[in-house]
C-alpha cells in the first residue's frame, strides 16, 4: 500500500501469521475478544479493557485500533497485528516503541482468544514479534512486562530466556499490584532466533518509521 505501507507488513511462521491490522481484521479481532480472552476473575492486562460490557468493549477496541494507527510516527509508534492461523483470526500482538532510532528497544504485548490457548501459540506469537523487532527493525533490546501471577505469559517469557530487570507497583483494576519487567538483549536473541520465520514488507515499513 503506497499511502500506508504498514498494511503490507506481515510476519509468517510455520504455525501462524502476524498481519498488520486493517479495519476488516480489527472487526474479526473484536469478535474473538467478545467470546472471551481470560477468566473474568483475573485481569492480565494493565488497562482492563475486557471488563467493559458488550458492545461497548468491542466499540472501544475499534476506537483504540483506529487511534493507534493514526498516531504512528517515527518518534513513537505501536504496530498492531491480528494473529491468524490460515484465514482464522485467533488473537492480537503488538510491537511498540518510543524514540526507537536512539534507544533501539521495543516492547511486545499479546493476547489469544480463550479457545486458542494452551496450544503453544503464545510462544510462537512472541517469536514472530521478536523476529520483527530484532531482525526486521534492527533493535538492540526487547522488553516485556506482566503481572506477577500471569503464569502463561511468565512461562513464555522465561522459556525464551529474558532477563528480569525489575518490578514496579501499578494499579490493577484500581488496586495496587506488582508488575514484573523483563528484557532480552540482541546477543541472546542471536542464540534463539529461528530461520523459519519470514518478515514481509519490512523495507517500506522501515522507511515509513524513519529508520
Give 132-176 pLDDT, tens digit per residue.
Answer: 999 999 999 999 999 999 999 999 999 999 999 999 999 998 999
pLDDT in tens, the chain (211 residues): 889 999 999 999 999 999 999 999 999 999 998 886 667 777 666 776 677 788 888 999 999 999 999 999 999 999 999 999 999 999 999 999 999 999 999 999 999 998 898 999 999 999 999 999 999 999 999 999 999 999 999 999 999 999 999 999 999 989 999 999 999 999 999 999 999 999 999 999 999 999 9
Q: Please return the burial class of 125, using the count of CB atoms within 10 Å of its CB with bins 0-12, 13-18 and 19+.
A: buried
Q: Which residues contact 77 (CB under 8 A, 6 or more apart)?
A: 71, 96, 97, 100, 209
Please tell me the pTM assigned to this model. Answer: 0.95
Amino acid at each position: 500500500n503506497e499511502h500506508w505501507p504498514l498494511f503490507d507488513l506481515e510476519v509468517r511462521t510455520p504455525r501462524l501469521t502476524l498481519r498488520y491490522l486493517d479495519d476488516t481484521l480489527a472487526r474479526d479481532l473484536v469478535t474473538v475478544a467478545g467470546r472471551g480472552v481470560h477468566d473474568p476473575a483475573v485481569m492480565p492486562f494493565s488497562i482492563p479493557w475486557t471488563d467493559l460490557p458488550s458492545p461497548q468493549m468491542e466499540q472501544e477496541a475499534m476506537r483504540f485500533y483506529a487511534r493507534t494507527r493514526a498516531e504512528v510516527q517515527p518518534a513513537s509508534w505501536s504496530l498492531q497485528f491480528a494473529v491468524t492461523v490460515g484465514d482464522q483470526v485467533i488473537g492480537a500482538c503488538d510491537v511498540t516503541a518510543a524514540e526507537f532510532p536512539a534507544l533501539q528497544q521495543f516492547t511486545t504485548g499479546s493476547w489469544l482468544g480463550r479457545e486458542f490457548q494452551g496450544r503453544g501459540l503464545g510462544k510462537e506469537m512472541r517469536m514472530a514479534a521478536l523476529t520483527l523487532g530484532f531482525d526486521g527493525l534492527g533493535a538492540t533490546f526487547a522488553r516485556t512486562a506482566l503481572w506477577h501471577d500471569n503464569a502463561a505469559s511468565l512461562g513464555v517469557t522465561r522459556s525464551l530466556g529474558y532477563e528480569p530487570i525489575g518490578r514496579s507497583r501499578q494499579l490493577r483494576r484500581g488496586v495496587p499490584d506488582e508488575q514484573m519487567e523483563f528484557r532480552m538483549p540482541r546477543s541472546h536473541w542471536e542464540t534463539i532466533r529461528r530461520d523459519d520465520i519470514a518478515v514481509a514488507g519490512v523495507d517500506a515499513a522501515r522507511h515509513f518509521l524513519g529508520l
